[in-house]
Amino acid sequence: MAKTVIITCAITGGDDTAGRFSAIPVTPKQIADSAIEACKAGATIAHIHVRDPNTGKPSIEYHLYEEVVKRIRDSGSPVIINLTTGAGARFIPSSEMPNTVAEGSNLRTPLERSRHIAGLRPEICSLDMGSLNFGKGALINIPAHIEEIALVIKEAGVKPELEVFDSGHIALAKHMIDKGLIEKDPLWQLVLGVPWGAPASPSTMMFLQSLLPQNAKWAAFGIGAQEYPMLAQAALLGGHVRVGLEDNLYIAKGVEAESNAQLVERAVATLDMLGIEPCTPQQARASLGLIRQ
């Protein structure tokens, strides 16, 4: 029996890429359709952000998440829905006025960042496990805020996917698991190649994996040109994988991807060369112990 891995497809992300790249899904219908198409191409999980349909800018509006989730569920697609809680953490400090934010910040309270999890109860949602310098500012995730979001996730009965951008984030996550704030068997996601987080390299991935709890369920992905090299590395090390337009906008050097499905198809082909098959959503639900809402 061939080895199988879960393929997550990160559909649209939270960066200001819409308008500059035609393949980026913007409206709830486009995002839902892209998730469904990615599943047909071999993806197991769809990781979802939402965008303002009029501007294409990142959004955390509840009704947008609600429409995306309803469209996917009503379609009958077996894809596993994974909603982000990462949006609303961007902080750009003013250079002129102390303790104030500059244009581009989008800080929100932990409850604002997680209300769609409580209301829509996806099978999985992401939980950023720490802060990170990012672009012109930083993504701010202090322990107290992570704990608040984690409580919402736990009370909703949703599987947390712990987003790890560096080694200290694993230490904090293990501490919160020991305290009972996060369930004992989460899905770990090693994020590699984000400036200025953990580099996208085989040695970094192996190091971070070595810090995880024994028998942890984990996945990893690389940003940009490192998407497929890190996919192969993660699969060979026994982890699950992720691709998608949130992470990488190109199907080949200088050639923009046409869709998320195209990126998933290449992932399936890459895994096939390694003798590995994509896991079905049904298999993933059994493996991860998911509760379908």
Residue where the block lists tokens 């068997």: 185
Is pLDDT above 60 for 1? no
Q: Judge whether residue 292 has pLDDT over 90.
A: no
Q: List Cβ neighbours of 293 (8 Å cut-off, separation of 6 or more).
A: 120, 121, 122, 123
Rounded to 5 degrees, φ, ψ at 273 are: -65, -20
User: Which tokens belong to 238?
Assistant: 């026994």
- Name 4's Cβ contacts closer than 8 Å, sequence gap at least 6: 276, 277, 278, 279, 283
- Round the average pLDDT of the chain to a whole number and report it: 96
**Residue ranges of domains in the chain, CATH in brackets:** 3-288 (3.20.20.70)
State the average pLDDT over residues 194-201: 95
Q: pLDDT tens across 2-37, in order?
A: 699 999 999 999 888 888 899 999 999 999 999 999
For the chain, give the percent of residues with pLDDT over 70. Answer: 99
pLDDT for 293 equals: 59
How far is residue 235's CA from residue 237's CA, in Å, rounded to a whole number? Answer: 5
